[in-house]
Amino acid sequence: MKEQIQTIRKEMEEWLASEGKSETLTREKLFAYKMELLGKTGKISALSKGMRDVSSEDRPEIGKLLSELRRWAEENFETMEAALKKRELEQKYATERLDVTMPAKFTGTGSVHPVTLVREELIDIFSGMGFDVFEGPEIERDYYNFQALNIPADHPARDMQDTFFVTKEFLLRSQTSSGQIRVMENKRPPIKVLSPGRVYRSDSDATHSPMFHQMEGLVVDKNITLNDLKGLLDEFARRMFTSETKTRLRPSYFPFTEPSVEVDLSCSACGGKGCRICKGTGWIEVLGAGMVNRKVLENCGIDPDEYIGFAFGIGLERIAMIKYGINDIRLLFEGDVRFLKQFRN
């Protein structure tokens, strides 16, 4: 028995010196050898079983040698396993290293949409003149989109805007003018507010889209005149286009303004001489405006004898098309990167 214990120990020492030090040692090999010694049917386990046949006087000594062998073997396996793990990890670090100095793959950056550019520029221009921004809901009540704006049911002016109704009472707002009412219901004059957002109409061709963007402007205070509106629009035209751009007001009709005007800008492409863009007239129509109708003020609980105001509504796609020379509104909604990337700067 004693000799067997010594043989096993010697064998293992040799194994450790050769196999154990070898670069080719794997987990599998190590495990197999461990089983060969310490497994249920392994050599050391077999010796433990053989203890039965050892005489009682030799037993303490042999037992001690055997348990020493077992502990020694176990400790060695533990050290080996730890060393193997460390080596595997080092190999992984060496082979899976990331070279952070490699040139990056360029995936391209986005650009701000032209309608967003116009929206931001408008807000920038008008907020510089003291305007706040209010955004109303896109699903709107008939009351805010029409009735309170002096467009009762069955009024022919409803035909100007082919509206998407959700129910009898709710619709997809056809104009941001609804924002005027929502602001005036909640705030007393002086009021100076912009209301930008999406609007919807059942209309689709090269210059109309079923969803487009407007920016409403509203000013209510004492002693305001049409000339204040004109001055404000002059400033807007010069800032948005060129310092040479002029405005022209033409009489028009909107139920919520009285008097109402349509506003043209001198064509910045030809400087007003007449070209393809302005269809030879030298002027381009850009927005509707007017003095807020007394009835609209009354509907919002504002005394029209004390206060007066003006309002205007700008189509953002229209401004973008003029400013950037875009001839088809659908380009603004198709999301074609070849078109959109031209607006990166």
| Distance of closest approach, residue 315 Cβ to ligand DAH, in angstroms | 8
CB nearer to ligand DAH: pick between 226 and 326: 226
Task: Compute CA 26 distance to the chain's CA centroid, rounded to the nearest angstrom.
Answer: 51
| Cα–Cα distance measured from residue 302 to residue 181, given in angstroms and rounded to the nearest whole number | 11
CB nearer to ligand DAH: pick between 241 and 254: 254
The strand ranges marked E within 201-307 are: 211-221, 247-254, 257-266, 283-292
CB nearer to ligand DAH: pick between 58 and 203: 203
Q: Which residues are CB-neighbours of 327 under 8 A, at least 6 positions away?
A: 206, 321
Cα atoms in the 13 Å half-sphere on the side-chain side of 248 = 11
CB nearer to ligand DAH: pick between 160 and 275: 160
| Distance of closest approach, residue 254 Cβ to ligand DAH, in angstroms | 4
CB nearer to ligand DAH: pick between 114 and 290: 290
Q: Are 245 and 283 in contact (CB under 8 A)?
A: no
Q: Which residues in this chain contact ligand DAH in the complex, by CB under 6 A?
A: 175, 177, 216, 254, 257, 288-290, 311-313
Q: What single letter denotes the amino acid at residue 43?
A: K
Residue identified by tokens 């509106």 is: 229
| Distance of closest approach, residue 318 Cβ to ligand DAH, in angstroms | 11
| Distance of closest approach, residue 249 Cβ to ligand DAH, in angstroms | 12
With CB atoms as reference, the residue minimizing the distance to ligand DAH is 313
| Distance of closest approach, residue 293 Cβ to ligand DAH, in angstroms | 9
CB nearer to ligand DAH: pick between 59 and 230: 230
Q: How far is CA 323 from CA 7, 158, 244, 317, in A?
A: 95, 30, 14, 10
Task: Compute CA 250 distance to the chain's CA centroid, rounded to the nearest angstrom.
Answer: 41
Q: Which residues are CB-neighbours of 266 under 8 A, at least 6 positions away?
A: 244, 245, 246, 247, 248, 272, 282, 283, 284
Q: State both tokens at 35.
A: 């089983």
| Distance of closest approach, residue 135 Cβ to ligand DAH, in angstroms | 16
- Report CA torsion sign: 267, 270, 275, 276: negative
| Distance of closest approach, residue 274 Cβ to ligand DAH, in angstroms | 26
CB nearer to ligand DAH: pick between 77 and 310: 310
